[in-house]
A and B are shown apart, each in its own frame.
Chain A
Amino acid sequence: MFDPLLHQNIRSKLISLLITNEELPFKALKEYLEVTAGNLSSHLSKLESAGYVNILKSFEGKRPKTVIYITDAGRMAFYKYIQELKKFVEEN
């Protein structure tokens, strides 16, 4: 019934954070969500495959750098998901 990608605690929090902050570095998301790097990568790749987020990997000198952005599709899907949750609560 609900979008299975968003109906998951970590992923919905992750999208919420991206909506408030527009873009966030990988390290910041990892600290805020209190998850391991592997766990976060796994959630992010699912969201990226669905086109909900963009992951930009680059190098600054020799340092690897990863920044995550929310896409318009991600915003729309999240908005729809919230509406569905609200509707479900009202109807039950």
Chain B
Amino acid sequence: MSEKDEALKHLSEIKSALVDKETFFPYNYNALMIWGVIGMIMTLFMGIIFKSSIFYGVVFSAILMSAGTIIEGFLTKEVNRDYDIEGCTKKQKFIVTIFGLLSFFAIALTALLTKYELVVLAYPIWIFLIGIGHFSVGFILNIKIIEFSSLLKIFVAILLLIASFFISDLGSLNSTFFYFVQGITFALLGVFPMLIGRKLKKEL
């Protein structure tokens, strides 16, 4: 290998280290399991609670999302301690911020959709927003499985929104369409994160 080739190879290696998205990111994948459980609870009860009272629905969602964030915070603190990190890294802050904002928006939108008797639409919207959050995380951290599953979520959410055009009653929690949407949400926001968490944990 000539000196020039060596210099080029060296430059390319430095460039990869500088721009490579797969940089250091301590994460406790048990947090994904927790989010899976929260996703399941949300999917099963969100519609009923919002329909009975928008206020209780907002409180219920806010409590669940806060509980998830607090538990994730504890798990992250624990894993950070293993790496001698005090507080949290920039990437961890980014993830908490993006999911905080998306959850806040999703809760507000669910309240509004319930008010206008369109609560069923809240489900694809949650799938879409969580998908966007996961896509950012997967892309930044270069975790292919998260990136792929988030694209799937986004795609399914769009399909569900398109299908909603042909449904007349989007406020009923007893329709076949609602059960169909709820089942898909349960799988994508409940079961999926748990499976991915388990897989990534095994790979550690």
Contacts and interface: CB of A to CB of B under 8 A. Distances in A.
Interface string B1-35: 00110011011011001100001101000000000
Nearest to A31: B24
Interface string B87-123: 0010000000000000000000000000000000000
B4 A89 contact: yes
B79 to A, nearest CB: 11
Contact of B17 (A16, A66, A67): A16
B85 interface: yes
B203 interface: no
A9 interface: yes
A28 B4 contact: no
A17 B17 contact: yes
Interface in A68-92: 82, 85-86, 88-89, 92
Main secondary structure of the interface of A (DSSP, over half): helix
A28 B25 CA distance: 9
Interface stretch (A19-27, A35-43, A45-53): A19-27
A88 B10 contact: no
A21 to B, nearest CB: 6
B166 interface: no
Given A27-B84, A65-B84, A12 B24 contact: no
B83 interface: yes
B4 A92 contact: yes
A12 B10 contact: yes
Contact of A82 (B8, B14, B24, B85): B14
Contacts of B81: 60
A85 B7 CA distance: 6
A24 B26 CA distance: 11
B24 A16 contact: no
Interface of B: 3-4, 7-8, 10-11, 13-14, 17-18, 23-24, 26, 81-86, 89
Given A16-B14, A24-B24, A65-B84, 11 more contacts: A9-B13, A12-B10, A12-B13, A19-B18, A20-B23, A21-B89, A25-B85, A28-B83, A60-B86, A86-B11, A92-B3
